[in-house]
């Protein structure tokens, strides 16, 4: 069982943040970069987004930087509030359950694997003249791959039978766009969900939710 710090009833916000530090540090960095994008002139904004993208061009020239920096930017600063909610709903519970290290391994693996595979598929399409060559410079940034991985691994936190309803919803949400002619981004989301589901061994030996939890107090 993962040891957690004692709650601080008098400081609920501080206790909440301390229980999932990685999630909130990540969210803070995204908030800062979103402010930068929001206040930057249009031309400089485009340069920033392309420079921090994990597209084919950037992956070929600066692979490590492209993979790392693309995880800390979102294309539309107006969607920051939505991402904040999604981080609290998916990332934070997984980090509290698995611990920061295991959570980080899962989301980082999903981000890297999904990016590399989806961009390789895109490159193959470009070489086969099935996609325009300009797609080598497409803006490919954001945190959605990591979120999809947390959605996947959170499946194992839920008790049966709700686990299966949740899993069906997640597969439908990410699978239907891919099955109906989705983009390389849709492929990346599906891969990330699979990484989260394949992370089941990292959830072993943790206290699973039990349908009988709490009955001892009755």
Q: Which residues of the chain have pLDDT under 50?
A: 1-7, 209-218
Q: Cis omega before residue 131 (within 30°)?
A: no
pTM of the model: 0.85
Q: How many C-beta atoms lie closer than 10 Å to residue 189's C-beta?
A: 26
pLDDT score for 206: 65
- Which H or E run contains 80? helix 80-86
Q: Which residue has the tokens 């595979």?
A: 117
pLDDT score for 51: 86
pLDDT score for 157: 93
pLDDT score for 10: 52
pLDDT score for 76: 86
Residues with Cβ within 8 Å of 195's Cβ and at least 6 positions away in sequence, in order, are 106, 109, 110, 113, 114, 149, 152
pLDDT score for 134: 87
pLDDT score for 52: 86
């Amino acid at each position: 069982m993962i040891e957690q710090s004692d709650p601080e009833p008098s400081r609920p916000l501080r206790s909440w943040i301390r229980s999932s530090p990685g999630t909130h540090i990540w969210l803070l960095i995204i908030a800062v970069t979103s402010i930068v994008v929001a206040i930057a002139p249009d031309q400089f904004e485009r340069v920033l987004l392309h420079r921090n993208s994990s597209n084919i061009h950037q992956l070929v020239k600066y692979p490590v930087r492209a993979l790392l920096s693309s995880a800390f930017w979102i294309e539309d600063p107006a969607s920051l509030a939505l991402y904040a909610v999604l981080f609290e709903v998916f990332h934070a519970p997984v980090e509290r359950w698995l611990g920061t290290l295991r959570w980080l391994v899962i989301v980082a693996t999903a981000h890297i694997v999904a990016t590399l595979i989806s961009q390789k598929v895109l490159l193959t399409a470009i070489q086969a003249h099935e996609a325009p060559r300009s797609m080598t410079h497409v803006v490919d940034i954001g945190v959605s791959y990591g979120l999809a991985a947390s959605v996947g691994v959170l499946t194992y936190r839920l008790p049966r039978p709700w686990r299966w309803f949740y899993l069906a919803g997640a597969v439908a949400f990410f699978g239907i766009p891919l099955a109906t002619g989705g983009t390389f981004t849709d492929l990346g989301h599906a891969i990330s969900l699979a990484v989260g589901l394949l992370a089941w061994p990292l959830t072993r030996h943790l206290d699973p939710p039990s349908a009988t939890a709490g009955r001892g107090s009755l």
